[in-house]
Amino acid sequence: MVSLQVNNVGLRYPVPRTFSLRRLAPAIGEDRNIGGKLETDPNGKQYVTALDDVTFSLKAGDRLALIGPNGAGKTTLLKLLYGIFKPTTGSVTREGRVDALFNINLGFRGDVSGRRNILLRGLLNGWTPREIEARMEEIIEFSQLGEFIDMPFSSYSQGMAARLAFATATSFEPQILLMDEWIGAGDAEFAQQAQSRMDSIVKRAGIIVLASHNLDLLRRVCNKGLWLKHGRVEEFTKSKKVLDDYIWQTRAARLEANKAAEAAKASGQG
């Protein structure tokens, strides 16, 4: 049974001594709606709490829209779900094979061909050479790279690299797929192919977690939504409600900021 359980997860990391908390605060302070929580412990050590008390669960067939402003913790959460980061507190329980598409260069080497990179990425994911060879031609065909498959990966455009990464990652039908923003990379025809493959993964009892600022895409693809703010869950429910609430609050905040700026300007002129 495919599932993803996140229970009271927190992630805190120390601020390097070469950085000053005072210097960081204006960039990611609480009043700017971005970044985690800045803290200093009793011993004077400085920390950033990137994620705090994050709890949610997904089951087979769920497609989660992960939203929030830049610095809210979306990519950090994706990396934690994949296992790159370990939670400081709480737990993540994954049932099912996991793959991630939040870094198109993950597991790829620029100095070797696309064909060789399919092998390397497959081995990194725990596939056997025989399994990789059996899927090789299907991956190449889906990527639409043609003769470029034997060119160095470093010579690929971002769209070409994205197509190869997507084709490789999804060829073994991951049961849990984590994606960050660039699902639509490539031309319209490939974007439609990618959407069809995503739908196929979900129909076969898979889970997708997709972080994006493209709210129209999230509304079309996802059935659940998770809104992160300062590394904490602001809302987790059906995607339509989460997206509507996020849009409303974002517009309201922008309106208040504009009013404050206009009032300050008028006060200065007076």
Q: Which amino acid is at 130?
A: R
Instruction: Determine the Cα–Cα distance for residues 233 and 239; give it in Å rounded to an integer.
Output: 14
Contact 54, 87 (CB under 8 A): no
Give the domain 1-97+175-185+210-261 fold. Answer: Rossmann fold (3.40.50)
Q: What is the pLDDT of residue 209?
A: 94
Contact 82, 100 (CB under 8 A): yes
Instruction: Determine the Cα–Cα distance for residues 65 and 212; give it in Å rounded to an integer.
Output: 8
Q: Where are the domains of the chain?
A: 1-97+175-185+210-261
Q: What is the pLDDT of residue 27?
A: 47
pLDDT digits (tens, 9 = 90+) for 166-177: 888 888 778 898
For the CA atoms of 204, 213, 233, 65, the dihedral, rounded to the nearest 10 degrees, stands at: -20
Q: Which amino acid is at 98?
A: V
Residue spans of the chain under pLDDT 70: 17-36, 103-105, 182-187, 205, 269-270
What pTM was computed for the model?
0.78
Number of residues that this document lists for the chain: 270
Q: What is the pLDDT of residue 104?
A: 63
User: In three state form, how does the secondary structure of the chain look?
Assistant: CCEEEEEEEEEEEECCCCCCHHHHHHHHCHHHCCCCEEEECCCCCEEEEEEEEEEEEEECCCEEEEECCCCCCHHHHHHHHHCCCCCCEEEEEEECCEEEECCCCCCCCCCCEHHHHHHHHHHHCCCCHHHHHHHHHHHHHHHCCHHHHHCEHHHCCHHHHHHHHHHHHHHCCCCEEEEECHHHCCCHHHHHHHHHHHHHHHHCCCEEEEECCCHHHHHHHCCEEEEEECCEEEEEEEHHHHHHHHHHHHHHHHHHHHHHHHHHHHHHHC
